[in-house]
Amino acid sequence: MAGENIRYNYVIGDVQGCFEALKMLLKEIKFDPDQDFLWFAGDLVARGENSIGALRFIKKLVDRGVAATVLGNHDLTLLAGARGIKEIKEKDNTRDVIDAIDSDDLIDWLRKQPLCLCPNENIVITHAGIPHIWTVEQVKQFAQEVETVIAHDDFDVLDTFLKEMYGKEPTLWSDDLTGYERLRCIVNYLTRMRLTDPEGRLEFSFKDALDEPMPAGYQPWFEYESKAAQTHQVIFGHWAALQGKTISAHIQSVDGGCVWGNQLMAYRLEDQQMFAVDNPMFA
């Protein structure tokens, strides 16, 4: 697909601080910030070689109005680390962000990014996907409940939430959930989900490829009849072992596992073409 003065939209999978791969990918797709738009599927930072470089670069693109991003689980962990709520693990490789001279600006910007994006009326992006029990309208509402707390002007509100954010319970959604249990459940569905049971109950241990044995009673969330996928194409990252697999005409993964030595991927919305580059740090 070639031509001038055509605006292309690309959804980019988990960057995870792999800044060199990101720059290579943008050259591969011939990204033109004067007409194209990038949609990042979250996990901008973490275990790659240059989280601070990637985060600064993506922030500039968003501030310029040529990109947008959802938050992933690693982005939320960076927020918790920066606020002193959670100890930063050495393998997370985000100490450079916290120690940076512009750390406060970067963290304040990051916490104001959404958990859900809709590039158009037919497409929805979240980091980990959408449980089959939710409609897109529900996803928008639930995501906004969390976003309001994370972006709150009162940092005490943010910090209290971050202290309560970690945990596996409740594993099953109910409209009756309230308070931090409700917010935690929303975060887990939108940023940590891989497997659920037929009711939508989350399972957190499995991270492997689809041909590996899974815990009894659980399947990938996209194997069930999805309310969201009946009305929208659902695009997600998070699950590196899928390596950008097309699940169906209405469900697309974009995490190529770049940080593990595989590929960083960009999915073009206009023609469903996938572009990919190898991680040069593993060359």
Task: State the pLDDT at residue 3.
Answer: 47
Task: State the pLDDT at residue 70.
Answer: 98
Task: State the pLDDT at residue 153.
Answer: 95
233-236: strand order across its sheet: 117-120, 123-125, 233-236, 251-253, 246-248
Tell how strand 123-125 and strand 246-248 pair up: unpaired
In this predicted structure, the answer to whether residue 146 has a pLDDT above a threshold of 90 is yes
Rounded to whole angstroms, how far apart are CA atoms 184 and 207? 20
* Residue 97's pLDDT band (cuts 50, 70, 90): very high
* Residue 164's pLDDT band (cuts 50, 70, 90): very high
Instruction: Return the residue matching tokens 């060359």.
Output: 283
Task: State the pLDDT at residue 89.
Answer: 87
Distances (CA, A) of 15 to 28, 121, 127, 229: 15, 25, 12, 25
Kindly state the percentage of the chain with pLDDT values over 70: 99
Instruction: Please give the average per-residue pLDDT across 208-222, as a whole number.
Output: 97
The per-residue pLDDT for range 52-67, each reduced to its tens digit, is: 999 999 999 999 999 9
Task: Tell me yes or no: is domain 9-282 CATH 3.60.21.10.
Answer: yes
Has this prediction a pTM greater than 0.95?
yes
Instruction: Please give the average per-residue pLDDT across 69-75, as a whole number.
Output: 98
The per-residue pLDDT for range 12-51, each reduced to its tens digit, is: 999 999 999 999 999 999 999 999 999 999 999 999 999 9
In this predicted structure, the answer to whether residue 4 has a pLDDT above a threshold of 70 is no
Structure tokens at 270: 């206009």
What value does the mean pLDDT of the chain take? 96
Rounded to whole angstroms, how far apart are CA atoms 260 and 270? 29
Task: State the pLDDT at residue 185.
Answer: 98
In this predicted structure, the answer to whether residue 2 has a pLDDT above a threshold of 70 is no
Contact between 54 and 45 (Cβ < 8 Å): yes
In this predicted structure, the answer to whether residue 1 has a pLDDT above a threshold of 60 is no
Residues facing residue 234 across a β-bridge: 124, 251
